[in-house]
Structure 1
Amino acid sequence: MFWAGVDGVLLRFALTPESGAMTATQLLAADLEHRTPSGTVEIAPGLVSVLLRFDPARTQRDVLAKEMLARARQIMQGPLDIPDSARRWTIPVAFGDADGPQLSEVAQAVGCSPDAAIRQICETELRVLVIGFAPGQPYIGLLPEAWDLPRQSELTPTVPAGAVVVAVRQIVMFGAASATGWRQVGRSAFRSFRPERDTPMPLRAGDAIRFARVSVSEIEALEQKADGLGGAQLEVLR
C-alpha cells in the first residue's frame, strides 16, 4: 500500500505481471466499482495494482486505505477466479508481410509456423488487462506461456497506427504511430482513441477480445470508415 500524491491510494499485488496478481487486481477493481467507497472520484486499475483517488473534503486517506487493504486480503484468500467479461470485441487484423514484418521471427521464438502463431493469437481467450501508456491504448492478454517473449534490445523507431505488437504474453494495438520495443505481427484499422467520437476510448479493462484474420485490402477499406473502429464488432454478454 502506498500514498499517491495528496488524494490517492495505490495498492499493489506484485512487482511483475504475474497471473494471480493480475486476476486479484481485476477482482479488486470490479469490487470497488460495484461497492464504491464514499468520497472516491476515480478507480484506475493497472496490471498488478489499483489506484484510488478521493476527495479529501469527503473522506480520509487512512479510512480508504484500511478498506482497500481489507478487501484485497479477502480477495487473496481465493478463489482467484477472473470475473466473466461483460462485453466482447471482435477486431479484424491483417497479419504478416508488410503489416506484420516480425511475425516469422516471433513464430520461430514461440516454436511454431507463422500460420500456427496467427491461429494461436486468434483462438486464445484474451481480454483487455489495462488501458495505459497512451489514451485508450489496450494491453491485451494473456497469450500462452510460450509467448513470454522479451522486449527487443533496441527500439523500432516507428510502427504505424493500428500496429499489433507482442511481448511478455501480451498484445498492444497502437492508436497512433509510435516507437516500440515490442515486435509487430499485424495491423488493424481499429483506433483506440478518437476525441471526436461519442465514446472517444471504446475499450474497457475487462473486455474480452477476439482477433479475426483478414486481408490487407480489407484493412485498407476499413481504414476509410469514419468511425475509426476498423470493422470491430461489439457483443454485450451480460
Structure 2
Amino acid sequence: MSGPRSGAWSVKATRGIDTAPVRRERGAKSTVNQGTVGGDVGAQNTVKFPVIRTVGLTGLLVTFADQLSEASNRATLAFCEALKSGNGLPVQEIATSLASVFIRFDPTVISHAALQDHLQGLIDQQDWQRAELPAGRRLWRVPTVYGTDLAPQLEEAAEAAGMNVDQAIESLGSARVRVLTIGFAPGQPYLGPLGAEWNLPRQTELTPQVPPGALVLAISQFVLFTAAAPTGWRHVGQTGFRGFQLQADDPIALRAGDEMIFIPVTRPEYDRLCAADPHFGGASREEIAT
C-alpha cells in the first residue's frame, strides 16, 4: 500500500465502533491528576496501549490505540490473524474494528482469566504496530462514476477540499485505500486513508437514502454501501459493486486488509459494465504479493 500523505491517518476512533463497557483492564497504566480537592480541575487520564478490556460476561476487547492510525490498524489486522491461526483457541467469534479486536467466548469453556492470560502472552510476543499485514489480501479495482446524478455531492465535496471537480476525480480515482474494518451493515467496508485534504466533517443533515454501491466520503475515509440507507457522508461516486450478496457462496466479498482503487469511468461505460456484471459492476481483483 502506498504511504499516506501527512495527517491522513490522524482520525479519532469512531465512538460506537471502538468503545465498549469496561469492567477490568489489563495492560493499562492510568495516571490521574486530581488538581484541587474533589478532582474537578486538572483531571487527566493516560492509558498505555495495547489494553485488554472485559466486555460484558462473554467478551474481551484488545485495543491498540484510541485513534485510527496506519500502525494501530495494522496491529489490529495482524493480531486478529494471529488469533485465528492459533492453536485451536476455544472462542466463538473474533472480529476487528478500526483499532481493536473483539473476542467472544463461552466462560464455561474457558475462563476470563485464562483467556486474558493467553491474550496478554500473545500481545507480549512482538510490537504489533510493526507486524506484517496478513497474507491473502486482495487488491480490487472498481469502476466508479464520480458525480453526475448518480453521485450528486461530488462538487460540494471537491469545493470543501479546495479542488475543482476534475482535480477531485483525479485525487479520489487514484487513491489506493485499505479496508480498515467491516461494519454498520453486512459486508460494508470503511476504507482509508485518503489525503488530509479529504478530512471533511460529516454533513449537518442526513441524506435520506443512498443506494447499494454508493461511495461516500468523510473524515479522510470512504464507505462503500452494501444496502440502501441514510447517511451523513457525502455521496461522491457510484459503483455496481455489491459487497453483500446473501445467496452467494461467500456472501461478504471484502475482508479487512483488502485494498481498493475506485477507477473513474463514464456513465455509459458504467451502465455497460453493470449490465454485463450485475454483482460487481466490472470490478477485478488480484492477490497482493507479500
Larger gyration radius, structure 1 or structure 2: 2
Provide the residue aligned with 2:21 in structure 1: none
- Which of 95, 100, 115 in structure 1 is aligned with 2:166? 115
Query: Displacement of 1:185 after TM fit?
Result: 0.5
Query: Displacement of 1:55 after TM fit?
Result: 3.4
Partner deviation per Cα, 1:89-137 (whole Å, 9 max, x = no partner): 1111100121221111211222222222222222222111101000000
| Residues 197, 227 of structure 1: 8 Å contact kept | no
Provide the residue aligned with 2:97 in structure 1: 46
Provide the residue aligned with 1:156 in structure 2: 207
Query: Displacement of 1:75 after TM fit?
Result: 4.7
| Residues 133, 257 of structure 2: 8 Å contact kept | no
TM-score, length-normalised on structure 1? 0.89
| C-alpha separation in 2, matches of 1:148 and 1:23 | 21
| C-alpha separation in 1, matches of 2:84 and 2:129 | 19
| C-alpha separation in 2, matches of 1:187 and 1:36 | 43
| More helix by percentage | 1
Q: Does 1:33 align with 2:84?
A: yes
Provide the residue aligned with 2:112 in structure 1: 61
| Residues 137, 255 of structure 2: 8 Å contact kept | no
Query: Displacement of 1:67 after TM fit?
Result: 2.7
Provide the residue aligned with 1:167 in structure 2: 218
Q: Does 1:202 align with 2:250?
A: no
Query: Displacement of 1:217 after TM fit?
Result: 2.2
Provide the residue aligned with 2:149 in structure 1: 98
Q: Does 1:177 align with 2:228?
A: yes
Percent identity reads 39
Q: Which secondary structure does the structure 2 equivalent of 1:223 belong to?
A: helix
Structure 2, unpaired ranges of 5+ = 1-51
TM-score, length-normalised on structure 2? 0.75
| Residues 37, 64 of structure 1: 8 Å contact kept | no
Q: CA RMSD in A?
A: 2.2
Query: Displacement of 1:214 after TM fit?
Result: 1.1
- Larger RCO of the pair (alpha carbons < 8 Å, separation 6+): 1
Query: Which letter does structure 2 place at the counterpart of 1:236?
Result: E
| C-alpha separation in 2, matches of 1:97 and 1:227 | 20
Query: Displacement of 1:189 after TM fit?
Result: 0.6
| Residues 139, 287 of structure 2: 8 Å contact kept | yes
| Residues 136, 287 of structure 2: 8 Å contact kept | no
Provide the residue aligned with 2:3 in structure 1: none
Query: Displacement of 1:222 after TM fit?
Result: 3.3
